[in-house]
Homo-oligomer: A and B are copies of this chain.
């Protein structure tokens, strides 16, 4: 394959990983970012820790940087649920040995940029891309939108510039470009739990901690330095909303009421709450993702999702594994074919993980505290352990396999319909581990298999 001169817009996680991949295939790579080098500045205070799982790790391991990144990560093999007036309890995410990994987005981004530089990518920070000429693969940068611009000519441009991508923005003004952005009524705020003075964690460090409160929730993910990065998800308006927490007194009263067990853990709560911005949560979908053989979107710029499945970074990194596989398997040098295969492979899966992520807010914020839900999980777990080839729980399929997200969504809906029936059985609390319940599930699975038009395959992108 011919060496191309490639620009990547955006030095975030997708941009820097793609830079490494393209360098391994010997292309020239320049990465533009309108912001300063993240290695030289303080973090923004609007971050949610990442939960890296197998799709993300595969992308890193494939180019041999997984081990290095694992040093930045803390495994979380369970949820730790904090319900007021009850002892903390735990929900395992998967089988023994399966875990998701907490990583600070900023810490990871710094490392990835350094690795990309070492691989030979050139980074241009604080260079603002204002316009992209799609058919000619030209980039225009400058101090301001109205000032003088510099023109750069490339063979290919990748837009890795996130949910509010300038590159996509240019594609969006063209005819026949489908696009949607949908904001949740809830926003989020970053908060923190510092380390103990001896550097240890104040809570179990191998758990993703959740304080589910129905319409809002607090979560905490561990960092290497003994601290936790916390995120409060809450409606903007209405009862118990960001709007209501308009004074120190109101914040403290709210906290005492809903999160009394965290009071001692969060000594800088008030300062954090007032200093850090309230950020929005958006689902963004679009299509097509590519323009001729010239431009392609990768990661959040193509499919921004809400964070409740912990799959944002995993989906973005999987884009890159899939794209690289397609590049590898194409004999010739036809980037238009490569781009078309890429977007056709990824679009249905991006839509599916968007839907699953949206739904998971309900699961995390309400259901994790619901005894019915806990029983349901127990029945599923029992069945799945006995018949692992017949029942892979949805969460596990998404998080611990490389099977397509679209397949996970479809099979997950079938499983949910079966479990709805099971939970409606008389006295399910008493008979949940009976042969009758087991047989019921087996029968329903069989009838799904009979119906199945074999649209589901095991192919994994």
Contact = CB atoms under 8 A, between A and B. Distances in A.
A176 B185 CA distance: 8
Q: Contact residue range for chain A?
A: 10 to 19
Contacts of A236: 176
Most buried by B among A175, A178, A280: A175
Contacts of A146: 146
Contact of A180 (B164, B173, B181): B181
A292 interface: no
A182 interface: yes
Interface string A34-77: 00000000000000000000000000000000000000000000
Interface string A146-180: 10000000000000000010000000110111111
Contact of A179 (B164, B173, B177, B181): B181
Interface of A: 146, 164, 172-173, 175-183, 236, 280
Nearest to A278: B175
A183 to B, nearest CB: 5
13 contacts: A146-B146, A164-B173, A172-B181, A175-B183, A175-B280, A176-B183, A176-B280, A178-B181, A178-B182, A178-B183, A179-B181, A180-B181, A180-B182
A180 to B, nearest CB: 4
Contacts of A175: 183, 280
Contact of A181 (B164, B177, B280): B177
A243 to B, nearest CB: 13
A177 B179 CA distance: 13
Contacts of A182: 178, 180
A10 to B, nearest CB: 17
A173 B164 CA distance: 8
A455 to B, nearest CB: 22
Given A146-B146, A179-B180, 17 more contacts: A164-B173, A172-B181, A175-B183, A175-B280, A176-B183, A176-B236, A176-B280, A177-B181, A177-B183, A178-B181, A178-B182, A178-B183, A179-B179, A179-B181, A180-B180, A180-B181, A180-B182
Nearest 8 CB-CB pairings of A with B: A180-B180, A175-B280, A176-B183, A179-B181, A178-B182, A176-B280, A178-B183, A146-B146
